[in-house]
Amino acid sequence: MKTSNITHKNWRLSVLRGLLTILMAGYLMVPDVALAKGKNGFVLETSRNDFATTVQKLQQAVSAQKLVLLKDYNVQMMIKMVGVKSKQSMTFAIFHPRYGKVIYENDPDAFAAVPLQIIVQERGKKVVVGYKKPSEVFSDYDVPKKTKKELDKLLENIVKSATG
C-alpha cells in the first residue's frame, strides 16, 4: 500500500511539474513585441537598470505608491525545479486593503483576481518589467471604472519608477 501511495505522489508531482514547465515556457516564449503592443492588456517596459537594481527600485516604488508587497516569487528557482534553465525572473504580488474594500463591496467575486502581479525578467541582455493592466484584470467584474483607472495609473507609476 505504501508503494502505491508514493507512486501516486510521484505521478502528481510529475504532472504538476509538467504543467508548470508548459506555462512558464509559454510565457517566456511570447515575443516582446506582442507584449509591448499591449496584447490582452499586458504592458512590458524595458529597464535602464540591471536586474537587482530594477527589483530594488520596484520594491521602493510599491511602497511609495502606498501599496503592500504581499509576496515575491523567484520564478527562476521554481522552473529550475522542473529542469528548465532561465535567466533571473521574479514575480511580485501587490495590493492594498483600501482597494479591496471597494472591490469587495462592488463584486466579491473579483477577489479571484487579487493580488495584482508584476514580473521582472532578464531577457537576453536586457531587463524587462511587465504587468497586466488592472482594468483588464478586473474587466469581467463589477469594479468601478474609477478604481480600475486608479490602479492602472498606480502600476504604471511603479513600473516607470522601477525601469527609469
Classify residue 13: in a domain, yes or no: no
> Phi and psi dihedrals of 143, rounded to 5?
-105, 135
Classify residue 73: in a domain, yes or no: yes
Segment 151-159 shows an average pLDDT of: 96
How many structural domains comprise the chain?
1
Cell numbers linked to 139: 474587466
CATH number, domain at 136? 3.30.310.70
How do residues 2-60 score in pLDDT, each as one tens digit? 445 556 556 555 654 554 444 444 444 444 444 444 568 899 999 999 999 999 999 99
Q: Which amino acid is at 106?
A: N
Classify residue 121: in a domain, yes or no: yes
pLDDT above 70 covers a percentage of the chain that reads 76
| Dist. CA 90–CA 61, nearest whole Å | 16
Classify residue 110: in a domain, yes or no: yes
Determine which of 67-81, 104-118, 147-161 has the lowest per-residue pLDDT on average: 67-81
- Quote the pTM value: 0.74
| Dist. CA 111–CA 107, nearest whole Å | 8
